[in-house]
Structures are given as C-alpha cells and as structure tokens.
A and B are shown apart, each in its own frame.
Chain A
C-alpha cells in the first residue's frame, strides 16, 4: 500500500501510473499527483509530524515519494519571522515572513528539488536536469552532486554572475542559451523529451517537483500553532509556487490538521514581466510576453505554464496582484534588510514591494494575519545590488578620523 496512486490530468482527469511523465496523452493537460487520501488520513498526525526531522521530510506523508532514502541537504523547516518592524512601517498588525534565503543553496528551490531528485532516483533516472533562471540551477546541481547523478542545467546566458558562480561550484553540465528563460526552457523541454531516462525536475518530473512547495504552507501553519493565515503573498514566475502553497493549506484543512478557512491569496510580479499580475488586475486571459525587462531575473518567465491556474486561485480567493517597478523592488530589498535583518534578492524584493503596494491599495486589511514568502538570498544578486549601495570611503586608522566620520554619520541620520 502506498499513499500515492499515480498521476492524474488536471484538465480531463485521465489517470496514469506514477512515472516520468508531465503531460496527459489524451488532452495535453498538465498532470498532478493523485493521492490516496484515506490512506494518508489513517497515517498522518500532528504528533508524528512534530517528531519528524527538521526539514521538509517531516511532511513526507504529504509528499509523493516512497520509502525514506531521501536526497536531502536539509531543505526547509525555516524560521517564520514575526515581522513586527516591517509590519509597523506598513501598518500591518500581524505580519510574518517565511525566510527561504537560508535553505542549503539559499532559495526555496531546494524544497522542490529535494523531492524531484529523490523521485528521479526512485525511478532509476540516469541524469537530472532543469531549465532555470539561476536558483533552481544551484539547487539541482547541489542535489545532483549529493545523489551522484550528472546534472544538465539550461540557463539564459544573461542571469546574474553570482548565480553562475554558485552553480558552477557543484560542477554540473551548464548550457547557457542565448535569449530568455523561455528559450532555454523550450530547448530543455526538447532535450528532456529525447531522453526519457533523464529526469528534468521542472519539466518531466514536474508533477512531483511542485509538490515540494506545499511544505511552505505546512511549515507556516505548524509555526502558527496549526493555524492558517488570513492572507498570504507569494512571488509569481510560472505561477506554480503560489498554487502549491494554496494547495498545501487546502490539504491540511482537508485532513483536519488546521481549521478550514478562506485564505486570501495574492501575488507579485515585476512590472517588466508581469503576465499573471496583469491578467489578475485586468481580469483577462494570461497573455505570454516575449520581451522581459526586469532586474528580478528569477521571476522573468514570459510564458508562465501555471499562469492560468494562478490567476484563478488569486481571484477565487478574493486576493489580488501587484506589479512593482524595478526601483520599488530595490527599495523593498533594503526596507526588508533594515527593518527585519533579512537580505533578499530581487525576487524577494518583488514580493515585499508587492505587499507594500497591496496594503496601500487597500487590498490587504491591516487586521489580517498576513504571511509573506521571501524566496531567495540577496548574496546571489550582488552584481545587481552593488549599483545601489554607497561604498564606504576608507579612513586612516586614527581616533580623530573616526570622530570626523562619526559626525558625518550622525548628520546623515
């Protein structure tokens, strides 16, 4: 007996055995994991979870893997910060931040990758791969190293040098593609399709991969004393993360681990690449865009595969979406750092900037218990951020020089 029945088409409901497959052969719709909820209900409890490891694997009963031979670098179970300082600045009474910058490769992508690579090894895949804007690349390269599997990483050549440096350290096969993420992704999809024994984490084993993001909801609820927030804000790229977090809360409620309630779901996408936010704000179809112009490289996906679903989740929940400018994103990075001591990359800045705009627009009530997902680390985007900081001028190592500078610092404040 297993808690996983197989795969199921999200569009037409056709069922398939658990395998390396992402597309319905009947209607081309995306597949999702089909669980045996009766089995899970009999085996899961808060006590069992609380005794589990301090990682995503404490929620293994709700993840699509068999056994316990995880490819695990320790992703997850990160601190949910009660962000009182930022809350005060924004006028929110109860604001929380789940800080994903502290994962093993410094983004939330370690969660999804740990699940996908564990599944890849379970399927006997001979290699792993991904299309990535940088964060997933490092997660896949690191977990590939841990699993002893070769990794093929397709990236747009224009991403941050910090991300290329990090992923290179794990020694994967990097294919830097001219063009945007969407170009790299198309090529990776074709390569993945020609190599059925390789597991491309966000392409061919995508149904399992996206399950890893549910743990963001599980951890939030557990740290809130097994309660859901009233509202959460997540970044939007393909839209998969936001949908997975919502699904995570829904599953906890379905199993009676939290009380069922209506959670408002809001998203944020940089103005220079905001097909989902635009669709939400104008209540129209998600229209793919070709020209991407934003410093938030990790959110720069012009053709979001889960955009359609993300838009519906947001609007059905009564949430909304924001599209901050690059300037607002940079400001939000520094606002978060100086109020809460969390240093995030432009994707996290987009989410915080989006939060700010949604509060200003009256889309988030000050009394709502609001959770924000900050998904990546600022150290990865230093080449972008260094243009926005003041490099300190060196002084002679004398007390007099210090006093002079101290006076200037006091005046500046």
Chain B
C-alpha cells in the first residue's frame, strides 16, 4: 500500500490531495502508470514531457528526490510515501 500525496497544483486533475496505490513491491514508474489510469491523460500531461518527469516537477520517495535515487526505476515498497511537488526553492 503506497501512499501518494499531491501538490495543490494538481487539484484540478486529481480532485484529492492523497491517494493509495495497491501494487505491492514495485517501482515509481508503475505507481505513475496506475495514477495515469486513475486520473487520466491530463494528469500524465502535467507530470511528464517526452516520457520524462518535467523539469519543474519534483517526485520524492519518503522525502528523497528520485533524481538522487534511480529516477522512475526507483523501487517502492509497501508503506512507502510518494510526494509530488513543484520545484521551488531558495533565494
């Protein structure tokens, strides 16, 4: 059971700030596949560009940016938390 938290910027396509994905041990890519099934092409368009996560989208697994892990191939196990946030930081 993976918990996914969405930025409010995604509210118009997800209609919720949080959802549960039941895939057992899997990868970030598979979780996104499931989310696209659930929330449709609009969700996919906002997160991905040419199959890659958009430059201004940050995806975290238990607080770690997937760019520092294995990207979309990052393994996800049951009870992990994924957050999708816009990239904003610093001064």
Q: Which residues of A are interface residues toward B (Cβ below 8 A)?
A: 11, 22-30, 109, 112, 131, 133, 135-136, 181-183, 185-187, 189-190, 193-194, 196, 202-203, 206, 237-238, 240-241, 287-288, 290, 301, 303-306, 308
Bound-state Cα–Cα, A30 to B88, Å: 8
Q: Provided the pairs A25-B9, A28-B57, A193-B8 are in contact, do residues A305 and B46 lie with their beta carbons within 8 angstroms? A: no
User: Does the CB pair B85–A240 fall under 8 Å?
Assistant: no
Task: List 7 A-B pairs, Cβ < 8 Å.
Answer: A23-B9, A24-B9, A30-B86, A133-B90, A189-B86, A203-B89, A301-B90
Contact pick for A196, options B8, B57, B58, B88, CB 8 Å: B8
User: Does the CB pair B5–A304 fall under 8 Å?
Assistant: no
Interface size on B, residues (CB 8 A): 26
Q: Provided the pairs A28-B54, A28-B56, A303-B65 are in contact, do residues A190 and B5 lie with their beta carbons within 8 angstroms? A: yes
Q: Is B83 an interface residue (CB 8 A)?
A: yes
Bound-state Cα–Cα, A304 to B58, Å: 12
The smallest beta-carbon distance between B41 and chain A, in angstroms, is: 14
Q: Provided the pairs A23-B7, A23-B86, A193-B85 are in contact, do residues A109 and B65 lie with their beta carbons within 8 angstroms? A: no
Bound-state Cα–Cα, A50 to B55, Å: 41
The residue in chain A whose Cβ has the minimal distance to the Cβ of B53 is A28
User: Does the CB pair B54–A27 fall under 8 Å?
Assistant: yes
The smallest beta-carbon distance between A176 and chain B, in angstroms, is: 16
The residue in chain A whose Cβ has the minimal distance to the Cβ of B6 is A193
Bound-state Cα–Cα, A303 to B55, Å: 11
B59-91 CB contacts (< 8 Å) to partner A? 60, 63, 65, 67-68, 83, 85-91
Q: Provided the pairs A23-B86, A193-B8, A303-B89 are in contact, do residues A288 and B65 lie with their beta carbons within 8 angstroms? A: yes
Chain B contacts for A206, CB-based, 8 A:
88
The residue in chain B whose Cβ has the minimal distance to the Cβ of A139 is B91
Bound-state Cα–Cα, A29 to B83, Å: 17
Q: Provided the pairs A25-B12, A28-B9, A290-B68 are in contact, do residues A186 and B90 lie with their beta carbons within 8 angstroms? A: no
Bound-state Cα–Cα, A204 to B64, Å: 21
User: Does the CB pair A22–B12 fall under 8 Å?
Assistant: no
Bound-state Cα–Cα, A201 to B51, Å: 33
The smallest beta-carbon distance between B1 and chain A, in angstroms, is: 20
Bound-state Cα–Cα, A90 to B59, Å: 45
B1-26 CB contacts (< 8 Å) to partner A? 5, 7-9, 12, 17
Chain A contacts for B5, CB-based, 8 A:
190
User: Does the CB pair B12–A28 fall under 8 Å?
Assistant: no
Contact pick for B86, options A28, A112, A240, CB 8 Å: A28
Bound-state Cα–Cα, A388 to B71, Å: 42
User: Does the CB pair A22–B8 fall under 8 Å?
Assistant: no
User: Does the CB pair B85–A109 fall under 8 Å?
Assistant: no
User: Does the CB pair B91–A238 fall under 8 Å?
Assistant: yes
User: Does the CB pair A109–B9 fall under 8 Å?
Assistant: no
Bound-state Cα–Cα, A136 to B91, Å: 8
Chain A contacts for B57, CB-based, 8 A:
28
Contact pick for B91, options A112, A288, A308, CB 8 Å: A112
Q: Provided the pairs A193-B7, A196-B8 are in contact, do residues A29 and B91 lie with their beta carbons within 8 angstroms? A: no
The residue in chain A whose Cβ has the minimal distance to the Cβ of B84 is A28
User: Does the CB pair B91–A241 fall under 8 Å?
Assistant: yes
User: Does the CB pair B85–A190 fall under 8 Å?
Assistant: yes
User: Does the CB pair B89–A182 fall under 8 Å?
Assistant: yes
User: Does the CB pair A28–B88 fall under 8 Å?
Assistant: no
Chain A contacts for B55, CB-based, 8 A:
308
Contact pick for A304, options B17, B46, B68, B89, CB 8 Å: B89
Bound-state Cα–Cα, A183 to B62, Å: 11
Q: Provided the pairs A28-B57, A288-B65 are in contact, do residues A238 and B89 lie with their beta carbons within 8 angstroms? A: yes
Other than A193-B8, A194-B17, give 17 A-B pairs with Cβ distance below 8 A.
Answer: A22-B88, A23-B56, A23-B86, A24-B9, A28-B47, A131-B90, A183-B63, A186-B65, A187-B63, A189-B86, A203-B89, A238-B90, A241-B91, A303-B65, A303-B87, A304-B89, A305-B90
Bound-state Cα–Cα, A183 to B83, Å: 13
Chain B contacts for A304, CB-based, 8 A:
89-90
Bound-state Cα–Cα, A202 to B65, Å: 20
